[in-house]
Amino acid sequence: MTAPPDDGTRVELYRTMVLARTFEEAMLREYHADKGPGFDIGKGLVPGEMHLAAGQEPVAAGVCAHLTTDDAVTATHRPHHFAIAHGIDLRRMAAEIFGRETGLGRGRGGHMHLFDPATHFSCSGIIAEGYPPALGQAFAFQRKGTDRVAVAVTGEGAANQGAFHESLNLAALWRLPVVFVVEDNDWGISVPRASSTCVPSNAVRAAGYDMPGERIEDNAVEAVYAAAGRAVARARAGDGPSLIEVHTLRLWGHFEGDAQAYRKDIEDVPGRDPLPTYERTLREAGLLDEAGAAAVKAEAVEKVEDAVRFAKESPAPDPAEAGRYVFADGGPA
Amino acid sequence: MTAPPDDGTRVELYRTMVLARTFEEAMLREYHADKGPGFDIGKGLVPGEMHLAAGQEPVAAGVCAHLTTDDAVTATHRPHHFAIAHGIDLRRMAAEIFGRETGLGRGRGGHMHLFDPATHFSCSGIIAEGYPPALGQAFAFQRKGTDRVAVAVTGEGAANQGAFHESLNLAALWRLPVVFVVEDNDWGISVPRASSTCVPSNAVRAAGYDMPGERIEDNAVEAVYAAAGRAVARARAGDGPSLIEVHTLRLWGHFEGDAQAYRKDIEDVPGRDPLPTYERTLREAGLLDEAGAAAVKAEAVEKVEDAVRFAKESPAPDPAEAGRYVFADGGPA
Amino acid sequence: MTATASRHRLTTAKAMVDGIAAEMERDESVIVLGEDVGAYGGIFSSSTGLLDRFGATRVIDTPISETAFIGLGIGAAVEGLRPIVELMFVDFFGVCMDQIYNHMAKISYESGGNVKVPMVLTTAVGGGYSDGAQHSQCLWGTFAHLPGMKVVVPSNPYDAKGLMISAIRDDSPVVYMFHKGVLGLPWMAKNPRSVDEVPDEPFTVPIGKARVARAGSDVTVVTVSLSVHHALDVADRLATEGVDVEVLDLRSLVPLDREAILTSVAKTGRLVVVDEDYLSYGLSGEVVATVTDVDPGLLRAKVARVAVPDVPIPYAHALEYAVLPRPERIEAAIRAVVGA
Amino acid sequence: MTATASRHRLTTAKAMVDGIAAEMERDESVIVLGEDVGAYGGIFSSSTGLLDRFGATRVIDTPISETAFIGLGIGAAVEGLRPIVELMFVDFFGVCMDQIYNHMAKISYESGGNVKVPMVLTTAVGGGYSDGAQHSQCLWGTFAHLPGMKVVVPSNPYDAKGLMISAIRDDSPVVYMFHKGVLGLPWMAKNPRSVDEVPDEPFTVPIGKARVARAGSDVTVVTVSLSVHHALDVADRLATEGVDVEVLDLRSLVPLDREAILTSVAKTGRLVVVDEDYLSYGLSGEVVATVTDVDPGLLRAKVARVAVPDVPIPYAHALEYAVLPRPERIEAAIRAVVGA
Ligand SMILES: Cc1ncc(C[n+]2csc(CCOP(=O)(O)OP(=O)(O)O)c2C)c(N)n1
Ligand SMILES: Cc1ncc(C[n+]2csc(CCOP(=O)(O)OP(=O)(O)O)c2C)c(N)n1
Ligand SMILES: [Mg+2]
Ligand SMILES: [Mg+2]
């Protein structure tokens, strides 16, 4: 149905994944830079919980390749890869994570609460609760007579939350242009998929909502790209929602500081990293050589470090203004 | 799989349905007896909302025929037929509906809040929220090593609530002895099924929870009996939950006072009453003659009127004690 | 409005719908979503006639999936629509509060003011007709405690229309709580004050300004919604005994018109708070603290709080009336405070 | 306990687990359910070691389906088990509040006392480590406003154990709210008071009795949880200036020990309420009203309420600290009230 990605697109997919990974590596570094002595979660330039998405880049890259910034994406507590793949401004995103006045939310939101009207991007720290607002964005797009779509993301753990069910039913009932994405990284914090979900695939649940459901087993960006292409095309054509589940990989801990003692597969994890795999694929296809890969990486590093620098140099919000923006007039609470 | 009901059981099913209907007719009468002049919902011996289940008796009779009072039932805002089929004490139930101190909840609960520890019966006015507690009852039964089961009921409208999804997943995951029942009476208040549910049958959703799902199209008590027999047997055997959806009939309004102007099929409704149909079936089978049917009815009337009398003669709760029973020690709040 | 502006006698429910219709007429982006808002016209007549007038693309029945459709309202508001979304009974907030308080109410703040959620959440509140513990609550204290949403609680037809128009035009989320007992529904006991003359033209009542429903000098009764009617009835009765009661109708809990409370208490020196929500950790305490934050010396007598005494709303009529702030309890409280 | 009873120094988290373990040992019907309570031992170490000790049939990881598993706890409690169910962060109450407040909390009343729900709902509360608007709230005011559940809020190891044992043995539902900042977690800033000597033997702390954490004569600080630590630190500092602060640790919001509040305020005549929950319609107003219900004349100065000023908890450290009741704000409030 969807054409396989052309050569340019394949390199683009790679570029997106590298950018996302580079960002996560920088966050990892900055996050841990000043938590010591010991580890104090509230300390440092980037305090609080930090959920990084390393290993899950194929999902974001493959899906967002079909979107423009007129389309909406609602992501999860683990939002960076989707934000980046969807084209969010890196500087303002980094600044938000550093809690600066120049951030997407002027430092009020933080890494789980990134809102970008320019790309119709948002995320939420409450699992599965990003699905319902995506319906509303899709509803508004449909109503305006456009072919814009909304992508809604959850993890496999979140797919057992009530909001999942309600959202799929309503989207199907009203034929809303939504693509539901489930990132199955095998874990909901320390709880393995088999202890949370009674079926091996959320794709089988799609039938209960009269929508196509696909599961991609191997965390391969091009397989995601193909499935997402079908789903986005269907949504743009006015044929309603679809569900895509990707069996992906949580390369690191649930959040930073997670010792992962519960994770028996931990040895095996680095070998499953999708990034070198895809690099190899593109090399074998003659689309990338060592220099080319290095250039992609260098470009990503430059962008990310620029964003980090921007963030660090940006002013912190004025504590006297902590009460502003509770209401739409921007005034104090 | 399950044997068809034997002759005695068939008459029993009929008896249960007649008793439930007779109770509802009495409630209808008592409810409207003193709402005037005009109709004031807060007036009379039976004030408040009143959701009657006339037409839905086959579901309750067919399911509960497989239960003993050691099994649990959690019902909905429309609970009487299940309460009766499950063997709740009619007097204490009527007394509760009349708001008397002798009622199941000493008049604190009312018709949507019937709790009977003797039969492990309960219900809730919040749609679909009766499912989760049923899981806990099943969990306790399983843990005690018994083969007791829990039956959880919702309407088809409620099946689009998040609690439905969460409950089915958890029950399947932990192989809990639960039978999920969906009463599809075509309507959620004024909203037709097609405007609430994106699939023609909730039974198809069962596959998303790795459990058997069956839909019974014709509101026939023996079909319900057969399906429920399979589901209860499965649960007692330790094989986990099942889902049964019955296409039943809301003979009257959503609640009393509902003019049903939205209901285009209204003319057609009385002809679909399952009670005369089943009576005919039993007559044709030679299990019931006119006198027999009359006797069943007379017995039901006697029980129901006794219960109503008991309720009316019972004392009202003492307003000075309105604050009691908030906590388990029974003392004032 | 000019002096010749036309008016009609409307129930509170009709006035509310009138406000919605006026805004739907004026602004294409206003839509109505909820359970039974279409053909049924709202279980409590909160959308009667709107389907016929504006059609099924703007007045939309939803499945019983509050999380999904309230969330849908949020997303639609973010993209520029102005949805009015109905939660049929406030008592059901527990199935969908996350969308309401963690999303609808926080997005403005979390986005540093970059995203607006111009949405109205309408919901029916209140008891008094034996609907039991899950269908009779007010819960405005619960909503008002959580930041980021305005909370509006009209008591009469004029305010119902004016506050509704203000709510729809507000760029912040507004929770609009209508008490079943003030609506003037034909099938429920009602106070004569639930029908009144209302201007036909659109007009606004500012959100955050209390109204002195009755001026008086001996004691201040601070209250909202149906209890305003009861308080006024009691005040009329006590006036014949020479007790002059001031009744303050807050009209909104967020923002709370603290000035109005202070002004009145400064005048009377005596305070009774009447609240159909639960007593503890709610409106009544907040009103008291509004005074003590400034000067406890304003209070010349102990304060009386007439509220539901931390008991689920009982079903049986006599029990329910024992816990509700009925006129008898209000009167007794005023007498105690003024020493009459 | 005898004078020779053995004791160990424990963090609040360990003391809480100690209480759970003691009851699990004693009573087969006590089980633990929740997200990551098993192998992980609770995200905030609220169940560390229990899986190893009691096995997977009594310490059970759940799917992320709060409505389903809290409801399951209710049904299990009704059938005679004594479940301890964890809601990982109180901030998530919005996805499951119906089971909590309409079911767990109301079944006793609706059944006229015929059904008991002996369940403990544990949940982590509080901010101070930049976890943002959806993971930093206290919300005890929200729970305490709604009838039918006891609400327990320990501030230290001894109380954590004793209140946990009381909660498990209570036949009513108890919401047990532990502030992350009092747990003594190795990975979070902590007050020295989050480690203390705790008797090894089981013991109970009665639910509903406040504790005078520090006796004083000039001003009463009424507070709970982490703010107790801050208040004590401030009290120590002010003592050097001759300001004698009484600190009252409420320990539970429901029941509220109104006697203790009144006794203290009658003595000092001055009141500061410190509350990490939102300011309006919450704990601080209720404490004030407890006094004015009896005698506003007890208050010789205006009351200071130090709480989160109706703002979602901001992420950036400086903003968050500006809205939290940090020691600096507490100190300033006390100074203002005593005129020092
Ligand atoms: C309603 C709700 N319950 C619990 C949590 C706590 N929590 C945050 S992430 C998480 C695990 C989510 O697992 P999954 O959906 O698979 O996403 P992943 O973290 O694997 O990306 C949990 C339990 C939450 N944020 N919201
Ligand atoms: C969570 C929740 N939302 C809405 C309602 C209001 N309500 C009561 S019954 C009902 C319709 C239920 O339809 P269905 O589940 O099909 O049951 P039926 O009434 O047809 O038996 C609605 C919307 C409720 N009680 N709870
Ligand atoms: Mg996962
Ligand atoms: Mg129905």
> What was the pLDDT predicted at C4?
66
Number of Cα atoms under 13 Å in the Cβ half of residue C327: 11
> Are C102 and D109 within 8 A, CB to CB?
no
Catalytic residue, chosen from D135, D179, D229, D230, is D135
Q: Phi, psi (5° rounding) for residue B322?
A: -60, -25
In DSSP terms, A150 is beta-bridged to: A72, A178
Q: How far is D324 from chain C (nearest CA, A)?
A: 14
* Closest chain A CA to residue D133: A109
Give Cβ neighbours of residue B245 (< 8 Å, ≥ 6 apart): B156, B181, B182, B184, B201, B202, B203, B213, B214, B215, B216
> Are C310 and B333 within 8 A, CB to CB?
yes
Distance CA C178, CA B14 (A): 45
- Residues in B closer than 8 angstroms to C38, CB to CB, are 190-191
> What was the pLDDT predicted at D4?
66
Global pTM? 0.98
Q: By three-state DSSP, how is residue A252 classified?
A: coil
Chains that touch C (3 or more CB pairs under 8 A): A, B, D
Per residue, what are the HEC states of B32-82?
HHCCCCCCCCCCCCCCCCCCCCCCCHHHHHHHHCCCCCCCEEEECCCCHHH
Q: By three-state DSSP, how is residue D326 classified?
A: coil
Dump pLDDT digits (tens) for B218-231.
999 999 999 999 99
**Residue of C40, C44, C64, C93 best suited for mutating to test ligand 2, as the one with most atoms within 8 Å of CB:** C64
pLDDT confidence of B265, banded at 50, 70, 90? Answer: confident
Q: Phi, psi (5° rounding) for residue A159?
A: -65, -10
Dump pLDDT digits (tens) for B236-264.
999 999 999 999 999 999 999 999 999 98
Q: Are D50 and D59 in contact (CB under 8 A)?
A: yes
- The arithmetic mean of pLDDT across residues C181-196, rounded, is 94
**Residue of A127, A186, A256 best suited for mutating to test ligand 1, as the one with most atoms within 8 Å of CB:** A127
pLDDT confidence of B306, banded at 50, 70, 90? Answer: very high
Give Cβ neighbours of residue C279 (< 8 Å, ≥ 6 apart): C305, C307, C308, C309, C310
Distance CA C266, CA C299 (A): 8
Query: Does the active-site annotation cover D8?
Result: no
Q: Is the CB of B56 under 6 A from ligand 2?
A: no
- Residues in B closer than 8 angstroms to A210, CB to CB, are 198-199
Q: How far is D8 from chain C (nearest CA, A)?
A: 37
pLDDT confidence of D1, banded at 50, 70, 90? Answer: very low
* Closest chain A CA to residue B210: A199
Dump pLDDT digits (tens) for D156-196.
999 999 999 999 999 999 999 999 999 999 999 888 999 99
Query: What letters, b where the CB count within 10 A reaches 16 and e where it falls short, cover B285-320?
Result: eeebeeeebeebbeebbebbeebbebbeebeebebe
Distance CA B8, CA B5 (A): 8
- The arithmetic mean of pLDDT across residues A204-217, rounded, is 98
The domains found in chain C, sorted by start residue, are: 8-199 (3.40.50.970), 211-338 (3.40.50.920)
Name which residue sits closest to atom 21 of ligand 2, judged by CA. B155
In DSSP terms, D247 is beta-bridged to: D214, D221
Q: Is the CB of A155 under 6 A from ligand 1?
A: yes
> What was the pLDDT predicted at B4?
87
Residue A1 has pLDDT above 60, yes or no: no
Architecture of the domain delimited by B7-36+51-86+112-305:
3-Layer(aba) Sandwich (3.40)
> Are A42 and D321 within 8 A, CB to CB?
no
Share of chain B above pLDDT 90, in %: 96
> What was the pLDDT predicted at C15?
98
Looking from the CA of residue D134, the nearest atom of ligand 1 is 25
> What was the pLDDT predicted at A180?
98
Dump pLDDT digits (tens) for C234-274.
999 999 999 999 999 999 999 999 999 999 999 999 999 99
> What was the pLDDT predicted at A265?
82
Share of chain A above pLDDT 70, in %: 99
Distance CA A182, CA A201 (A): 10
Give the orientation angle of helix B274-284 with respect to helix B7-33, to 10 degrees.
150
> What was the pLDDT predicted at B117?
98
- The arithmetic mean of pLDDT across residues C10-36, rounded, is 98
Task: Residue window 64-123, chain A: list those with CB within 8 Å of chain D.
Answer: 99-100, 105, 107-113
Number of Cα atoms under 13 Å in the Cβ half of residue D31: 25
> What was the pLDDT predicted at C1?
46
- The type of residue at C220 is T
Q: Is the CB of B164 under 6 A from ligand 2?
A: no
Catalytic residue, chosen from C8, C103, C135, C145, is C135
Neighbours of A201 (CB within 10 A): 18
> Are B126 and C316 within 8 A, CB to CB?
no
Distance CA C38, CA A173 (A): 16
* Closest chain B CA to residue A241: B198
Per residue, what are the HEC states of chain C?
CCCCCCEEEEEHHHHHHHHHHHHHHHCCCEEEEECCCCCCCCCCCCCCCHHHHHCCCCEEECCCCHHHHHHHHHHHHHCCCEEEEEEEEHHHHHHCHHHHHHHHCCHHHHCCCCCCCCCEEEEEECCCCCCCCCCCCCCHHHHHHCCCCEEECCCCHHHHHHHHHHHHHCCCCEEEEEEHHHCCCCCCCCCHHHEEEEECCCCCCCCCCCEEEECCCCEEEEECCHHHHHHHHHHHHHHCCCCCEEEEECCEEECCCHHHHHHHHHHHCCEEEEEEEECCCCHHHHHHHHHHCCCHHHCCCCCEEEEECCCCCCCCHHHHHHHCCCHHHHHHHHHHHHCC
Q: Is the CB of D195 under 6 A from ligand 1?
A: no
- The type of residue at D162 is G
CB-based contact, D186 to chain A, within 8 Å: yes
**Residue of A24, A124, A186, A189 best suited for mutating to test ligand 1, as the one with most atoms within 8 Å of CB:** A189
CB-based contact, D74 to chain B, within 8 Å: yes
Residue A329 has pLDDT above 90, yes or no: no
Closest ligand to C-alpha of residue B189 is 2
Q: Is the CB of A189 under 6 A from ligand 1?
A: yes
Share of chain D above pLDDT 70, in %: 99
> What was the pLDDT predicted at C182?
97
Q: Is the dihedral of CA C216, C222, C223, C224 positive or negative?
A: positive
Q: What angle do CA A84, A61, A161 make, to 5 degrees?
A: 85
Share of chain C above pLDDT 90, in %: 97
- The arithmetic mean of pLDDT across residues C277-301, rounded, is 98
Q: Are B99 and B317 in contact (CB under 8 A)?
A: yes
Dump pLDDT digits (tens) for B78-132.
999 999 999 999 999 999 999 999 999 999 999 999 999 999 999 999 999 999 9
Q: Is the CB of A187 under 6 A from ligand 1?
A: yes
> Are C314 and B128 within 8 A, CB to CB?
no
Q: Which residue has the tokens 């009764």?
A: C221
- The arithmetic mean of pLDDT across residues D316-321, rounded, is 98
Q: Phi, psi (5° rounding) for residue D171?
A: -85, -5
Neighbours of C171 (CB within 10 A): 16
- Residues in A closer than 8 angstroms to C106, CB to CB, are 113
Q: By three-state DSSP, how is residue D177 classified?
A: strand
Residue A264 has pLDDT above 80, yes or no: yes
Distance CA C40, CA B255 (A): 13
**From the candidates C95, C145, C294, which should be mutated to test the interface with D, based on the most D CB atoms within 10 A?**
C145
Mean pLDDT rounded to a whole number for chain C: 97
- The type of residue at B120 is H
Q: What share of chain D is helix, strand, coil (3-state, %, to 5)?
A: 40, 20, 40
Residue C230 has pLDDT above 80, yes or no: yes
> What was the pLDDT predicted at B141?
98
Dump pLDDT digits (tens) for D256-296.
999 999 999 999 999 999 999 999 999 999 999 999 999 99
Give Cβ neighbours of residue B286 (< 8 Å, ≥ 6 apart): none
Q: By three-state DSSP, how is residue A186 classified?
A: coil
Q: By three-state DSSP, how is residue B251 classified?
A: coil
- The arithmetic mean of pLDDT across residues A5-27, rounded, is 98
